[in-house]
Each structure stands twice: as C-alpha cells, then as structure tokens.
Structure 1
C-alpha cells in the first residue's frame, strides 16, 4: 500500500486538486436532483412518475449535448499545455458555434417527438402533466449548450472552480424556485410539476448568462477572450471540433438511450414501478456524478500529458483515477446498503413505491463498480482525442447487449424494473472491459508512433 501511495501520490494530488471543484459542482447537481425528486414526490406519485418519464426522454439530448461539448476539453487542454492561449480562445469560438447548431437540431427533434408522447405505452392519466412539463424542459436545451461549451473550455484550462460557482449559484436558484412554485409559497402560484420545470428553466438560463459574463470580464480569461474575437478560420475550427466531438456525443446518447428505454419499460408495469425507477435513478447519481468528477480530472490530465507526448504520465494518471473512483464506488455502495431505506423514504412516503425501490438496491451496488471503471477509462480515452472507438464501445455495450438483455430480464423473465437494473449491470460490465482494452491499445499505438 505504501509503495502504491509513493508511486501515485503526485497524481492523486493533481486529480484531487482538479476533481474536487468538479465534485463540489456534481454534489450541487445531486442536491438539486434530490431536491427536485423529493419535492415532486412529496407533491404526488402521479407527478413523480410523469417527471420520471419526461426526464428519461430528455436525458438523451442533454447528455448528448454535454458529450459534444466535452470534445472541446482535449483540444483546448492540449493548447493550454503548449501555452497557446489565443488559439484556445479561437477554438472556443468555433466550438460554441457548432455546439449551438447541434443543440438547435436536438431541440427540433425533441419538438417533433412531443406529438408522439401518447405512443410510449405510459399510463394515460399522466399525459396532461407530461405534456406541460415536457414543453418547459424543451426550452432549456439551448442555454445548456452555451454553458457546457464554456464549462468544458474552462476545464481544459485547468480551471474547474469557476464553473463550480456558476452551477452552485444556479442550483440555489433552482431549489428556491421549486419551493415557491411547486407548492405556491409566499403568494406564488401553486404549479406542481410545472413549477419544478419553470424553476429549472430559470436556473439554466441564469447559469449560461453568468458563465459567459465571467469569461469575457475576468482578468484570467482576457488572452482567451482576445482569441475568441478572431473570426478568420472558424470554419476549420468547426470541422476540427465536429470531428473530435461527434463520436463522444453519439457515444453518450447511445449509452443514455438504455437508461431512457429502461424508464419506458418500467412504465409498462405501472406508475409505481416507474416512480420507483425515478427514485433509484436519482440515488444512482450519487455515485455517477462523483465518478464523473475524477473522470473529468483524468481526462484533463491525460490531455495535458498528450500535449507533451508523456505516455508514461498518461498511464499513471489513468491508474490513479481508477483507484480514486473505486474508493468512491465503495463509499456509495455502503451508503446504499445501510442507508438505502432512509434515502428512499426521503423521496416518497408512498409504501408501494418504497417497497419497489428497495428491490433495486443490490443491482444498484453492483452498478457502482462497473460504472466507476468504465467512466475512468472512457474519460482517459477522451483525453487522448482518439474518441471514435467510444462509439463502438457504446453500440456494443448498450445497444447490442444492453437492450436485448433488458427486454429479456424485464419482460421475458417478468422481473419488471428489477430486470431493468440488472441489465444495466451487464451493459456496464461489457463497457468496462472494452474501454480498458481500447485505452491500452491507444497507448501502444501512440508508443509505436513516437518510436517511428
């Protein structure tokens, strides 16, 4: 143990320094997600189930947007490592343009899907709640893409603290808005689920405005803002960003499609199982968001090492990132095993929903270790900019394996939402093995290229 600490201690320190602000940010997101689910769950089971269905549909474009923006991190991270600040700002400009174009396309697709919401086999009594909430969330995709572009750029500059404060501020705004608009406190209208949607919308617009203002007015970013003002060559930048980003976007969308489909299938078994699925999915973010934090830090450091062709450093930082994420997976698992019942009761008082959610704890614990491993190696691959294999990893893990196993476990064997969650374990295990193999294949390829 002492030898491992001595070997990796500097890498642990750098990951913690970069990852802690991201972790605080993710904890803030978790708090809002928990607060949303708790407040909506306290308002009613119908509202909780309707939110689960709508959120399961929007998680695909939201994560695809975030994945596309993450393609900026290795590009600007490499430029940052070489001290090319104006070029990094110029890359942000082209990246922002293409990110907003992608967001507009996803918004249009989701707008068309609105007219087919009654075709998903969900309980009919939920449809009025679903439709109203859906339209509100639809309006938030574009400001999210703006925020994501600036956040991922700041991450590439090794500044994870500034986006953290932006998100924490918007989270506070969101929780206050929920309190006022869901229940109608202090003279505000009682809007129920729609109130939660409006609160989220206001918070997302505020975060986008705040991070843009900070970027163009902060002293630290003045050299990058100068590069942002350069208009020549943006077409080439857009093409480079697209080439780097679209595999990450598709990979993220394909991965999330399994979770989205899981919610739809859970809804086939009634609103109780759908509501339980929403509660446990919210709890699962406790692990996922923390793994993402150190996965993001790993990606940043891999990109920095990639910029100076330090392959040994890339391997070492990835191993350190895996160590930290497995420790976090153990912590999350202990919380779920010993505090799961209490957490579930925080989200809903309904005894039927609680009973259904408790059956998902065991697959949720297995999920943590698989998710921690695949997120570490997927982010390390992103840091190398060799992102095209990520698409094949996702297609194999979450479509070719995940969807058939989900249908077999949930519908074929009649396990319902329990089968849905065990299918996630299988898909994540496949993704873990494939991403590990791909990362070390990329390392061998880079080693060979340097020697030749």
Structure 2
C-alpha cells in the first residue's frame, strides 16, 4: 500500500485532468515522463538503506542501523536537489522530441512544480526505506494515505476552481502533488519520532561526523539499484515519447494503460521490499537455506497475485479507460472514443506482462537483500535496452501495430528480465548453501 501511494498520486491527477481533455492528459503524461525517470533514480538509490538496516536489525546492531539512515538522508537530499536541477536543464528537450505543440505548451509549467516535489519525495524515501528495514511498513503507508487524501482535495479545489479557489488546470494538479509530498515527509518523520522504538534512530543526528566508508557502502549499493530501476522506467518513458510521435491520442491512451499498469506494478514492488527485508534478515543471521525458502515463497505469492491482475485487465480493458475521460463531452467525443479503443488494445498486452513485471521486481528485491546489485544491473540493461527497446521501436514506428507494437516490446523486455534475474537468484542461493 505504501508503494501504491506514489502511483495513486499520478492516478488521481490523471483521472481529474482527463476531464479537461486529451491534450491536458497528454501534457501530464509528457511532464511526468521526465519526473518518472528522475524518481526512479531517487527511489532506486534509496533502496540501499533497507538491506543495510535489515542486516543490522538481524544482527542486533542498532548503531549501524542509525548510521545507515543518517548517511542515507544526506545522500538522498543531495540526489533530490540534483535531479530537480537536471530536469530544469532538460526542459528545452521537449521542443525537439516531435511532440504535439499544444501538449508541450501545457506541460512546461506543470513540470516545474512536479520536478521540485522530487526533493521531499526522495527525502521521504530515505525514512521509508529505513522504517521498512526494521520491518515496520505501516508508518510509511499511513503517510502516503494522508498525502493522497491531501492531493485529491487540492486537485479538486485547484484544477476545477471549486469553492472559490482559482481554476488552474493542470498547474493545480502540480501544486497538489508538491504540497502533499512535503506534508508526507514531515508526517512520517513525526510518526517515527513519536514512537519510542524509533526515536533514537531519527533524532540527534550529528551530520558533522560523516564516515566515508558508510557513504561508499550506500553508494555502492544505491547506484546500481538506481540504474536497475532507471533502465526499466526509462523504457516505459521511451514508450511515452514514441507514442507522442504517433499523436496526442496515442499518447493519452499510452498514459492510461501505463498508469493502470504502474498501480498493479506497485503490488509487486511492495512484495519486492518484503523479499529485500526478509532476505536481508536471513543474511544477517547467515541462515541461507531459510533465505532461499523465503525468497521462493514470496516469488510464488507474487505469481498468484499477478495472475489475478492479468485476469482483471482482460475483464475490464474496455471499461477502465472510460474512467479517465469525459465520455459525455460531445466536443471531444471522436478523440475520446479513439483513446478508449487504443487503451483497450494496450491493456490486452499489459494483462500478459503483469506476470513478468511482478516476478522480475520481486526477484530484484531478493537480490538486493543479498546485496547483489552489479550483475543484476547488467541483466536489466540487456533485457530492456538490448532486447525490449529495439522491438518497441521497430514494431511501434515501422509496422501497422503502432502503440500495440510499442507495448509488445515492453512485454519482451520484462520477460527477459524476469528469466535472467530468477536464474541469478537460484545460482547465488545454491552457491551460498553449498559453502556452509
């Protein structure tokens, strides 16, 4: 639920902005494509904190747990500010990406505010990953639920100008996102500070004492983890840009399918966090047979859940897109109907890659728990960019499949990633057990 909260912010934005028209929905998609790439680096980097805290917790070493949080906070804050600056520098690229002109004009002011919201989001991630490393996943969940409630309320007030508030369109959605993320990090810190179990961890930091060894450890785990998530999110972002070349309706349909898939993906990602925590605990205890058993149990649970999601997508693929658009809007009826048809085709492909997507992210979590990040990073690059993207590019822009071809490429990349990562986990755990 905590992971789903990040995506639900975008879901609420898309549902409400979609009422303004397909150009506004496409603009949110284009703006978020830059933010999602940066967010993937921030979230991926912050995951380095969890296995270190989980290992320290398993070994009963409280000082190492606090040290991981302190150094993680410093690095996440620096990273958040850096990513915000990079997005601002990259904004002019939108004029050179063959995107619809009206979409680019709408996306520019939206992007400024949502990009800045990355700073509190990545700081929040540091506290979240620490809390989860101590097996306490409910407090970050509470914070994300509160953030989503605030986001929905502000969206309603500022997008449509309700109750006397100014009507700001998609800029109102961006303000809602920024304010909700600032409140989210403040509230989580307050929750942890007020609990006796965590108070010593999250207060009285001495930031003057920074240890190079701990910084290098977090960077050594965090940078490859960030790249793993970056390679996956970047191929989905490439799908947004390729769809934009096909037109605003193709891009809007892609955004609908991507937003729905992102929400189901977060269930797999949440289970990946569970795998990272429990594998990290067993690594601290050096109980490798139990580590392997727990990992495979979580993989099986993920498979069963993703099969349910696949069935749900097949059942509702024609209905789900209607939630994002005003089907009674006569002026935009032709565009809306085209988007609904295109989105239904994409959800057919998305139904099948639910399984691959869930398996690859949960196995990746287990490998992070083992603190094995370098080889999996190479595997994800090969899967998404040597296998998946060429298929997306060729089928999407050089065949009649169009948007559907782009998503067949995504399915191919995810499946390759799931297979290679599972083989890696199986090999490593057998090796660890044999060495005992």
Write the deviation string for residues 117-172 of structure 1: whole angstroms up to 9, x where unpaired: 20111001112211111111111111111100000000000000111101100110
TM-score (norm 1): 0.91
Give the conservation status (yes or no) of the 8 Å contact 1:92–1:228.
no
- Which of 390, 393, 398 matches 1:407? 393
* SS in structure 1 at match of 2:242: helix
Aligned length: 427
- Which of 367, 375, 379 matches 1:381? 367
Matches of 1:222 and 1:185, distance apart in 2: 41
How is 1:189-204 mapped onto 2 (pairs within 5 angstroms)?
189-204=166-181
2:294 paired with 1:308:
no
- Which of 233, 242, 245 matches 1:265? 242
RMSD: 1.5
Matches of 1:189 and 1:233, distance apart in 2: 46
Partner of 2:102: 125
Matches of 1:432 and 1:253, distance apart in 2: 16
- Evaluate the alpha carbon distance shift between residue 316 and residue 267 of structure 1 in structure 2; reply closer, same or farther with a 3 A threshold: same
2:132 paired with 1:146:
no
Tell me how far 1:230 sits from its aligned partner: 7.2
- Which of 311, 322, 339 matches 2:316? 339
Tell me how far 1:30 sits from its aligned partner: 4.6
Partner of 1:372: 358
- Evaluate the alpha carbon distance shift between residue 230 and residue 216 of structure 1 in structure 2; reply closer, same or farther with a 3 A threshold: farther
Partner of 2:433: 447
Give the conservation status (yes or no) of the 8 Å contact 2:80–2:123.
no
Deviates more, 1:288-297 or 1:194-203: 288-297
Deviates more, 1:350-359 or 1:205-214: 205-214
Tell me how far 1:31 sits from its aligned partner: 4.0
2:420 paired with 1:434:
yes
2:344 paired with 1:358:
yes
Tell me how far 1:326 sits from its aligned partner: 1.2
Tell me how far 1:339 sits from its aligned partner: 1.7
Matches of 1:189 and 1:366, distance apart in 2: 43
2:272 paired with 1:295:
yes
Unaligned runs of 5+ in 1: 1-23
Tell me how far 1:226 sits from its aligned partner: 5.9
Tell me how far 1:174 sits from its aligned partner: 0.3
Matches of 1:137 and 1:32, distance apart in 2: 11
- Evaluate the alpha carbon distance shift between residue 328 and residue 97 of structure 1 in structure 2; reply closer, same or farther with a 3 A threshold: same
Tell me how far 1:37 sits from its aligned partner: 1.1
TM-score (norm 2): 0.95
Give the conservation status (yes or no) of the 8 Å contact 1:78–1:304.
yes
Tell me how far 1:218 sits from its aligned partner: 2.5
Partner of 1:18: none
Matches of 1:254 and 1:32, distance apart in 2: 22
- Which of 299, 315, 318 matches 1:322? 299
Unaligned runs of 5+ in 2: 328-335
Matches of 1:163 and 1:283, distance apart in 2: 22
Give the conservation status (yes or no) of the 8 Å contact 2:268–2:302.
yes
Write the deviation string for residues 42-86 of structure 1: whole angstroms up to 9, x where unpaired: 111110011111112211110110000001100011001111112
Partner of 2:62: 85
Give the conservation status (yes or no) of the 8 Å contact 1:100–1:142.
yes
- Which of 47, 50, 59 matches 2:36? 59
Deviates more, 1:185-194 or 1:281-290: 281-290
